[in-house]
Amino acid sequence: MVAYEEQASLIDLVNRILASKHISPSADTKALEEEIDQLVHDQYGLTDEEIDVVEGP
């Protein structure tokens, strides 16, 4: 189960990406996407090796 605070952080990041893309479809949201990735990795307790498998080459 994901804690409310983690859900709120994820929702905030997604909303920020959507707002940026609404203003400019070509907006660079890579940093925000990386924050989401990190939250997910932390939530699942992934090791560096597992992250490499999930992220791919």
Distance between CA atoms of residues 47 and 50, nearest Å: 5
pLDDT in the model for residue 51 = 94
Record the tokens describing residue 48, joined without a space: 């560096």
- Can you give the pLDDT of all 57 residues of the chain as single tens digits? 778 888 999 999 999 999 999 999 999 999 999 999 999 999 999 999 999 999 987
Determine the 3-state secondary structure of 12 from DSSP: helix
- Which value, in Å, is the radius of gyration of the alpha carbons in the chain? 13
What is residue 36's predicted lDDT score, i.e. its pLDDT? 96
Instruction: Provide the pLDDT for residue 2.
Output: 73
Residue 1, pLDDT score:
74
| Domain span holding position 33 | 4-55
| Number of independent structural domains in the chain | 1
pLDDT recorded at residue 29: 98
